[in-house]
Structure 1
């Protein structure tokens, strides 16, 4: 098995790469700019027993998506994970270019990756079938008022992508599923300008804490496994009850 993970060298992506390596997958990890994290992720996957290739590319550019899939070659799984909130604040106070960049990264690039995944795995395109996992967010249904409405809206689009594409490619040997993490202990919050957000929001979750990347990775691994062979067109919430 070979699986491509976008945003695969940090946070949930890196944890998923490690989990899948332990399950016998070889990995291709796409990333945007952090070369050090990419090398650390590659070494960790190889220590876990998997072969690993890292590819630096810009997924907001269709040519960048094409380069990633060309470097990967034949795959049987794709984890559509790359994303970021980019900003924290009320929508009315969010610059238009930040809104556009948020939608471009979290929704448009997810659509482009999903398109490429179908062309890589679909039996009508010469592939052998496989699984596409779209990483959404609990924000898609909560709305994230006063924090990042534009991010929540883009992730709601990802949920719709999962529903529609699953029906479209069921006959092509592809299952399309999603996971919707809640507040998870990654650098996404610090990257957006609030490093203390995990400590602020985590205790408000019904389970009383933030999630760990490995807990989301476990859900992704199950969705990609034969144990989930009758699961498609749905998004599994991994959000501590929120």
Structure 2
């Protein structure tokens, strides 16, 4: 039986790269997306081109009912074996004192509450065991001063969520790990108001460049796969030395 994996935020960036990587590795994939149906459909077409089954489901991961509907739809592909908690958002980069409460709440809702709701559904449905990978950030330990401390704080909570869930779910055969990317070349930077951040930040990255989505997808795929069968509670940093 083929692995069945759900990827939230699967229509773009790291999520889309992971969907393509997993399809090539033999996974059937359900991607959740928020707005861009055309982009989601293009990822599903690539999954099909790899010979695997794929579906795209519009879902707001901060809404428990929509999360449940995403997981119900994925059940049509077979028993769930994997979840990639990837849907995420930043807010405009700037000083901490200028942070708006609405931006704070949105970052917490999407990057933490959404992860919790999806992990709950996965834990309830992985009757035969499985693996969860949370997409965290190197910001969790760097703090992101002058940029988005609140986002960094939420990603630190993601790491704690990962460790706690790994310990609680291990007896049920469910592994839980995280990948902590550094600066990756995706369109998330445009949402933060600094679209060229991947290039402008290169000078402070020891490897001298931003990462690519495929480089994160490879780490996620490894944590979901059999080579990571004794790995749980780990936060794998993929950040070019940051």
- Matched residue, 2:80: 75
- Matched residue, 1:206: 206
Kept in 2, the 8 Å contact 1:31–1:56? The answer is: yes
Unaligned runs of 5+ in 2: none
- Matched residue, 1:124: none
Unaligned runs of 5+ in 1: 122-126
Query: SS of 2:216's equivalent?
Result: helix
Q: Once the 2 structures are TM-superposed, how far is the Cα of residue 88 of structure 1 from its aligned partner? A: 1.1
- Matched residue, 2:105: 100
**TM score, norm. by length of structure 1:** 0.96
Kept in 2, the 8 Å contact 1:76–1:131? The answer is: yes
**What are the equivalent positions in structure 2 for 1:21-170 lying under 5 Å apart?**
21-73=23-75, 74-121=79-126, 127-170=127-170
CA root-mean-square deviation:
0.8
**TM score, norm. by length of structure 2:** 0.96
Deviations 1:35-64 (A, max 9, x none): 111111111111122211000011111111
**What is the alpha-carbon distance in structure 1 between the residues aligned to residue 240 and residue 103 of structure 2?**
29
- Matched residue, 2:5: 3
Q: Once the 2 structures are TM-superposed, how far is the Cα of residue 86 of structure 1 from its aligned partner? A: 2.4
Kept in 2, the 8 Å contact 1:203–1:210? The answer is: no
**What is the alpha-carbon distance in structure 2 between the residues aligned to residue 87 and residue 55 of structure 1?**
28
Establish whether residue 218 from structure 1 lines up as the match of residue 223 from structure 2: no
Q: Once the 2 structures are TM-superposed, how far is the Cα of residue 238 of structure 1 from its aligned partner? A: 0.3
Query: Which aligned segments of 4 or more residues in structure 1 are displaced greater than 4 angstroms?
Result: none
- Matched residue, 1:19: 21
**What is the alpha-carbon distance in structure 1 between the residues aligned to residue 5 and residue 237 of structure 2?**
22
Q: Once the 2 structures are TM-superposed, how far is the Cα of residue 202 of structure 1 from its aligned partner? A: 2.0
Range moving further from structure 2, 2-11 or 39-48: 39-48
Query: SS of 2:201's equivalent?
Result: helix
Range moving further from structure 2, 199-208 or 166-175: 199-208
Range moving further from structure 2, 231-240 or 78-87: 78-87
**What is the alpha-carbon distance in structure 1 between the residues aligned to residue 96 and residue 41 of structure 2?**
36
Q: Once the 2 structures are TM-superposed, how far is the Cα of residue 147 of structure 1 from its aligned partner? A: 0.7
